[in-house]
Amino acid sequence: MCNTIKFSLPGELDTGALISELAAHYSIKKDPVDNRSILIYDTFDWRLFKKSFVLYKSGDKLFLRQLNENEILHRASIKSMPAFIWEFPDGLLKEKLAPILEARILLKLVELEIRSTSYRILNHHEKTVARIAHEEICSSPDNNSPPPSSQLCIYPVRGYLKYSRKIVKLFEERGLQTSKKDDIYFSWLEAAGKKPGSYSTKIDILLTHDMRSDEAAKAVFYFLLRIIRINGENIEKDLDTEFIHDFRVAVRRTCTALGQIKYVFPEEETERFKKDFSSLGKLTGELRDLDIYLLNENIYKEKLSPALRKNINPLFILLKKKRSDALHKVIQGLKSKKYETMLGDWKTFLNKSRNESPEPPNAGCPAIMMARTRIYKKYRGVIKAGYLALGDANDKKLHELRIHCKKLRYLMEFFSSLFPPDKINVLIDQLKKLQDNLGGYNDLCVQEEYLLTITNELSGTGLHLKRTLIAIGSLVETLGRARQSLKDDFTEIFTGFASPENKKIFRELFYNDQQRTVNENTGGLQ
């Protein structure tokens, strides 16, 4: 349980001779040669890599370590490789990974074959006081790999560190160099054609203040189009529920950008693509909703009294069936010529150089001005809608406020690179709290209504059906209580967001003195 020291070995080095030399100083025992495979895993969106973790399987055990560190943080015995977090055995590894992996599937990134020859250094009690392993890392049959490499690892034993220190010194005197930083993870992933962190849905676009607004908008659209493409290709495989989620978020962001970054493209084309992307949202809506119900299955069941839990199973059987139909519908839609043409047209539109005459009114407007004007206006929209909801928090007003918030959030994310990160991120975090409250409330409204509607579709008769209906009724009641609790929290959360301190930062970041002039001149930034 101490840090391993690794030495990279030059090809010409005779490890046998090195070990013989050690034998002159220490009593050494050679262990049987160990051949093992190591399989490295991560999610599609590199959640573990982004947290600097490496998860790998060796034999019937899973190990978690920090990148560039050798110490194992957590380990677990497994019977078969878990695909999702809920398939992990209970324990510290599961606890650590649960908030990171959430609903994402683990995918195998690369497989290594390691042949390890180990030697134990013994003291006069024949107690192991250090271990040395000569590890030869070879390619596994099914992936490209860099040339076989080998390393000499010293595994210190706790309480006997002086022995490993002496061995390190001896190796260094023989010209060997420790390989401290180059984590083998990178070279093997590179060889397998994988680039760690290459996929992320977080808007990461570098805009400049004086960039034209139409160019800034295109940069946002290119980024989102890539996300739509990647996820669209993976939805059919149905590996996990997050491909459809990421797809939908990118589609929604595209719709918002088309509607909110106003008058930078010709109106006719803007309207056409708004309609197209909106239809994609509608196509995938049911599937996402059903995913949420199914992901929440255990949470729903926990909300019910133990006596009712079994009775609600027919509902989930029906939801699974409906999900399968909904997935089929989405796959057909994404395979259709209409979808291909639409994305093709969209790409052609984005690639098209400017030649409209007259130019759309805000196309040449500096990105910073567009960003400030739109964000500040949307912020004021949120505050206005929020105060209306405070007066009378009915579902319609809360829904309208939620939509305003969503648009504001997307706008702030699109243009975040134009503003100081410490300030804009604080505001985004504050907005997120409000969105969580409103989003949670809306989800519960939708779920209650859906559960009541779906009762018509439940099959079965007599006592079984009655019991299922009682369980659904009980669930709806529990959801209703949770919804009311969110509503009770709303006033405090909104008041926090609308605080004078936040208002000051919003004004400082997004209000510009030229706003009125720009609005009058362009006629479009209102």
Partner 1 sequence: MKILAVYSNKGGVGKTATAVNLSYLAAQTGSRTLLCDLDPQGSATYYFRVKPKLKSGAKGFIKGGRRTYKSLKGTDYENLDILPADFSLRKLEISFNEMKRPKKRLKEILSVFSHDYDLIVLDCPVSISILAENIFNAVDYILVPLIPTTLSVLTHKQLLSFCKNKQYDTEKIHTFFSMVDRHKKMHKQYIIKVAKSFSGVLDASIPYLAQIEKMGIHREPVSVFSPGSAASEAYRNLWNKVQKIMI
Contact positions toward partner 1, by CB under 8 A?
Answer: 1-2, 61, 75-77, 90-92, 120, 125-128, 156-160
| Helical pair 313-335 and 462-497, crossing angle rounded to 10 deg | 70
- Identify the three-state secondary structure at position 51: coil
CB of 122 to partner 1, least distance (A): 9
Q: Which two tokens stand for residue 517?
A: 């002039």
Q: Which is nearer to partner 1, 8 or 128 (CB)?
A: 128
Is the backbone of residue 460 left (phi > 0), alpha (psi -120 to 50) or beta? left
Q: Which is nearer to partner 1, 58 or 234 (CB)?
A: 58
CB of 125 to partner 1, least distance (A): 4
Q: φ and ψ at 66, to 5 degrees?
A: -85, 145
Query: Which residues are bridge partners to 122 per DSSP?
Result: 27, 128
Contact predicate 114/38, CB 8 Å: yes
For 474, what's the count of Cα atoms within 13 Å in the CB-facing half-sphere? 18
Burial of residue 279 (CB within 10 Å: 0-12, 13-18, 19+) is middle
**Of 429, 427, 136, 103, which is closest to residue 291 (Cα–Cα)?**
103
CA 189, CA 146: separation in Å to the nearest integer? 10
Contact predicate 478/303, CB 8 Å: yes
Residue type, position 426, single letter: V
Q: Which is nearer to partner 1, 156 or 360 (CB)?
A: 156
Q: Which two tokens stand for residue 454?
A: 């779906």
- Identify the three-state secondary structure at position 365: coil
CB of 114 to partner 1, least distance (A): 15
Query: Which residues are bridge partners to 120 per DSSP?
Result: 29, 131
Contact predicate 123/129, CB 8 Å: yes
CB of 326 to partner 1, least distance (A): 38
Q: Which is nearer to partner 1, 29 or 481 (CB)?
A: 29
CB of 5 to partner 1, least distance (A): 15
CB of 152 to partner 1, least distance (A): 19
Q: Which is nearer to partner 1, 40 or 370 (CB)?
A: 40
CB of 119 to partner 1, least distance (A): 13
CB of 124 to partner 1, least distance (A): 10
Q: Which is nearer to partner 1, 120 or 303 (CB)?
A: 120
Q: Which is nearer to partner 1, 127 or 481 (CB)?
A: 127
Round the CA-based radius of gyration of the chain to a whole number and report it. Answer: 29
Q: Which is nearer to partner 1, 59 or 496 (CB)?
A: 59
Q: Which is nearer to partner 1, 96 or 309 (CB)?
A: 96
Q: Which is nearer to partner 1, 3 or 332 (CB)?
A: 3
CB of 90 to partner 1, least distance (A): 8
For 189, what's the count of Cα atoms within 13 Å in the CB-facing half-sphere? 19
Q: What is the 3-state secondary structure (H, E, C) of 264-278?
A: CCCHHHHHHHHHHHH
CB of 36 to partner 1, least distance (A): 13
